[in-house]
Amino acid sequence: MREIVFDTETTGLDPKTGDRLVEIGCVEVVNRFPTGRNFHVYINPGRSVPKEAFDVHGLSDEFLADKPRFTDVADDFVAFVGDAQLVAHNASFDMGFINFELKATGRVTFGPERVVDTLMMARRKHPGAPASLDALCNRYGIDRSKRIKHGALLDAELLAEVYLELTGGRQAGLDLSVSVQSASTGVSGGRVALPPRQTPLPSRVTAAEAEAHAAFIAKIGEKALWNIYLSESEQAETA
């Protein structure tokens, strides 16, 4: 299943009162695992950025002055999303801006059936607990040290990790690799291996116990079931 975890930054809280998008960050996820394909763009909002918004994301009028307008990047954004499900934190906010811009440029908007809201998921899974992105990163031990200010792509990457935990963690998938299809707007395809999040536990067998076990198996002889098990394990590892 292909999903797009995304986040936006804006000039304010409501597109109907003149606020606009200034950044979109998207992370492609297949079967709950990030593939490494992202979509990221800064957008010239065609208006000034209020101080309150600048204090949140740090995107100034000067920085955004030479960036494309939404209409210039809309087709690339829609093509990257394709028919995937959209995942956002407090999705009504982000989708309100996305759909406003799509409609304003004469494009088809996304229906609510296409959207998963991780804020609602977190509130259901952890009732009464803080459900901000920062709080969820802390809960799940996700490193957010680079999140000095809000940034759409960084927040989407963090949210992809949070989404994995909200949907069952790495145990949710039996295959820790996903097939990635190449596309014109992303990096080339391949097979992305995802290492376990935690290091393996050290062996609890002491050297003396291991030596005693080896002596016991030697006493039984070549037909010991342990030898058959070892042989099958080695064959599986080299297959």
The per-residue DSSP string of the chain comes to: -EEEEEEEEESSS-GGGT--EEEEEEEEEETTEEEEEEEEEE---SSPPPHHHHHHH---HHHHTTSPPHHHHHHHHHHHHTTPEEEETTHHHHHHHHHHHHHHTT-PPPPGGGEEEHHHHHHHHSTTS--SHHHHHHHHT---TT-SS--HHHHHHHHHHHHHHHTTGGGG-S-SEEEE---TTS---EEEE---SSPPPPP---HHHHHHHHHHHHHH-TT-HHHHHHHHHHHHHH-
For β-strands 85-88 and 21-30, DSSP reports them as unpaired
* 182 and 92 housed in the same domain: yes
Residue 86 CB neighbour total at 10 angstroms: 19
Q: How many domains does the chain have?
A: 2
What digits encode the pLDDT tens for the residues 195-213? Answer: 444 434 444 455 666 666 6
The Cα 102–Cα 79 span in angstroms is 13
The token pair at 178 is: 């996903």
pLDDT at 188: 32
Q: Which CATH number goes with the domain that contains 53?
A: 3.30.420.10
Residue type at position 51:
K
Cα–chain center distance at 180: 15
Residue 86 has pLDDT above 70, yes or no: yes
Q: Which residues contact 154 (CB under 8 A, 6 or more apart)?
A: 25, 146, 147
pLDDT at 197: 41
Any domain includes 201? no
* 232 and 188 housed in the same domain: no
Does residue 57 have an active-site annotation? no
* 25 and 100 housed in the same domain: yes
* 141 and 36 housed in the same domain: yes
* 50 and 150 housed in the same domain: yes
Any domain includes 54? yes
The Cα 69–Cα 143 span in angstroms is 33
pTM over 0.75: no
pLDDT at 177: 42
Residue 182 has pLDDT above 50, yes or no: no
Q: How far apart are the first and last CA of the chain?
A: 28
96 neighbors 74 (Cβ within 8 angstroms)? no
What digits encode the pLDDT tens for the residues 211-236? Answer: 666 776 677 766 655 555 455 544 44
Any domain includes 123? yes
* 212 and 167 housed in the same domain: no
Q: Which residues contact 31 (CB under 8 A, 6 or more apart)?
A: 1, 173, 175, 178
The Cα 19–Cα 100 span in angstroms is 10
Any domain includes 75? yes
Catalytic residue among 40, 57, 150, 213: 150
